[in-house]
């Protein structure tokens, strides 16, 4: 194991590690986390706006013929398509749009956490949904690695990390609380 490889893999330097040892995020780490969250927020807000536009378009096409007759000429048989044309798209798409906005405007807990212990890599199988361009989907099983240190599991670890860290060695990992994003790590020398 090379500490240089470890620093390159997790993209940290000595100033980041020093701040993490002191229980703080470095200014560089704070900036990177804010930029990552801002990018994700923009995608979620864009998705919410897209859903609202779709709801508007559906409502327009379903109700345009009814309103073309004039409000005074709307019959009782026009009420159901009118309710469905407005209520259904806004109920379903509106629900997902509001959810998207809520997630975008909530902040991740990026407080610094740390764990020390012996490293263990575990190969796990997970079932993932794969969507195709025609709208259908398949379920398939994929193999991923988990990095386990003490009671903390880091999921879907890049296989390259197995070539940098030796299983059974003792390490300290500094990571974000909610996303469990590893920010820095260092080997712990144990007296044998």
User: Are 114 and 19 part of one and the same domain?
Assistant: yes
The residue from 74, 105, 136 where one domain ends is 105
User: Are 115 and 182 part of one and the same domain?
Assistant: yes
What pTM does this model have?
0.66
Considering only CA atoms, give the Rg of the chain.
Answer: 25
User: Are 91 and 116 part of one and the same domain?
Assistant: no
What is the rounded average pLDDT of the residues 96-101?
A: 91
Q: Among the ranges 22-31, 35-44, 77-86, which has the highest mean pLDDT value?
A: 22-31
The residue from 105, 127, 142 where one domain ends is 105
| Token pair belonging to 65 | 């013929």
Predicted confidence at residue 14, as pLDDT, reads: 93
Q: Does residue 149 sit within a domain? A: yes
Residue 191 has pLDDT above 70, yes or no: no
Q: What is the C-alpha separation between 155 and 79, in angstroms, rounded? A: 51
Beta strands 152-157 and 182-187: pairing type? unpaired
Q: Does residue 40 sit within a domain? A: yes
Q: Does residue 29 sit within a domain? A: no
For 30, phi then psi, to 5°, come to -60, -45
| Token pair belonging to 36 | 């990552």
Nearest to 149 by CA among 185, 128, 173: 173
User: Are 98 and 115 part of one and the same domain?
Assistant: no
Q: What is the C-alpha separation between 64 and 74, in angstroms, rounded? A: 12
The pLDDT-based confidence of 159 (bands split at 50, 70, 90) is: confident
Residue position matching structure tokens 């798409």: 93
Predicted confidence at residue 72, as pLDDT, reads: 66
Q: Where residue 152 sits, what CATH number does that domain have?
A: 2.40.50
Phi-psi region of 12 (alpha: psi -120 to 50; beta: other; left: phi over 0): beta
Helix, strand or coil, per DSSP, at residue 48: helix
| Token pair belonging to 68 | 């073309």
Q: Which distant-in-sequence residues (6+ apart) come within 8 Å of 11 by Cβ?
A: none
Say which DSSP state 165 is in: S
Please tell me the total count of domains within the chain: 2
Range of the domain at 92: 35-105
| Token pair belonging to 189 | 């020398």
Q: Does residue 192 sit within a domain? A: no
Percent of the chain clearing pLDDT 90 (strictly above): 39
């Amino acid at each position: 194991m090379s500490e240089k490889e470890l620093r390159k893999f997790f993209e940290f330097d000595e100033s980041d590690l020093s701040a993490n040892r002191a229980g703080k995020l470095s200014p560089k780490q704070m900036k990177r986390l804010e930029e990552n969250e801002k990018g994700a927020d923009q995608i979620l807000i864009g998705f919410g706006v897209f859903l609202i536009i779709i709801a508007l378009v559906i409502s327009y096409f379903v109700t345009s013929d009814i309103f073309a007759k004039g409000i005074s000429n709307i019959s009782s048989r026009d009420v159901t398509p009118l309710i469905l044309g407005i209520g259904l798209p806004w109920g379903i798409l509106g629900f997902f749009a509001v959810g998207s906005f809520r997630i975008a405007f909530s902040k991740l807990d990026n407080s610094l956490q740390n764990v020390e212990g012996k490293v263990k890599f575990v190969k796990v199988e997970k079932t993932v949904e794969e969507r195709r361009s025609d709208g259908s989907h398949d379920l398939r099983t994929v193999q991923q690695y988990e990095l386990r240190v003490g009671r903390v599991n880091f999921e879907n670890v890049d296989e390259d990390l197995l070539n940098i860290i030796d299983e059974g060695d003792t390490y300290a990992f500094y990571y974000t609380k909610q996303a469990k994003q590893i920010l820095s790590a260092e080997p712990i020398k144990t007296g044998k």
